[in-house]
Amino acid sequence: MKENQPNIRIEVSDGASIPDPGDRSLITAWSISFFGALVCLAGLCVLRPDPYLDILKFLPDGLLVTFEITILSLICTLPIGLLAGLGRISKNRVINLISSTYVEVIRGIPLLVQLFYIYYALGKFIKVPPTVSAVTAISFCYGAYMGEVVRAGILAVPRGQTEAARSLGFTGGQTMRYVILPQALRTILPPVGNEFIAMLKDTSLVSIIAVADLLRRGREFASQTFDYFETYTVIALVYLIITLLLSKGVSMMEGRLHYYDRAAK
């Protein structure tokens, strides 16, 4: 007789609040926040096109840079996180120690300090371009957090799966590759999406090292016009709309995974 197991949801991030995929209500915290931000931004641009519409027209280049850094960082973070997660559960003491030390050290240093260190401190010995510095710092920082997500996802797979695979003659590597990781993937996908959202928000820090992201472009506009209140209001609303859209996407993905899980049972 099979026991009903609750859906496992890993929370290892300070990312956006993900809407409940089972909530079908029309009025939710997400809908109020999203449509409220849209109406507010549209109303400001219509009622006061100068400066709000001018600000909005000034930001697209920075928005593209923000997404570029986020996507590049995610591409680099995933393999780092996978290696760190596998290393954290490795029975090899050397590999386990190296992975655990990496996670402890990186998670103990704020991302802003890591950005300064790579761009300014290492710049004393080797010149690192701003974009490369940003992607490197974010990748190594979030790689440590992603490693914990991977580790938790692997440990969430019932031990019986490993025993069954080994009884069929699978090696340790084959068991991890063909049995454990595919099942763990279904568990870690939602928190990976959450990390992506948190990563996008943290790209705002790269503006301090001369990367022309969304916040940097806003600062340039404000320094020219002195419309600081208006500029940062628009930037806040744009960030809010983007993160809410992404959080809804993660919620839909999580709901789809739960649907397939129920169908498989």
What are the angstrom distances between the C-alpha of 173 and each of 8, 143, 161, 166? Answer: 25, 22, 14, 10
Gyration radius of the chain over CA positions: 22
- Helices 60-88 and 93-107, axial angle in degrees (round to 10): 150
pLDDT tens, the chain, 265 aa long: 334 444 444 444 555 566 666 666 668 888 899 999 999 999 999 999 999 999 999 999 999 999 999 999 999 999 999 999 999 999 899 999 999 999 999 999 999 999 999 999 988 888 889 999 999 999 999 999 999 999 999 998 888 888 888 888 888 788 888 888 888 888 888 888 888 999 999 999 999 988 989 999 999 999 999 999 999 999 999 999 999 999 888 888 777 766 666 655 5
Domain spanning 29-264: CATH superfamily: MetI-like (1.10.3720.10)
- Measured between alpha carbons, how far is 245 from 16 in angstroms, rounded to an integer? 10
- Alpha carbon 8 to chain centroid distance? 19
- Measured between alpha carbons, how far is 196 from 40 in angstroms, rounded to an integer? 26
- Measured between alpha carbons, how far is 50 from 55 in angstroms, rounded to an integer? 8
- Measured between alpha carbons, how far is 159 from 265 in angstroms, rounded to an integer? 19
| Among the listed residues 202, 76, 239, 95, the one whose alpha carbon sits nearest the alpha carbon of residue 146 | 76
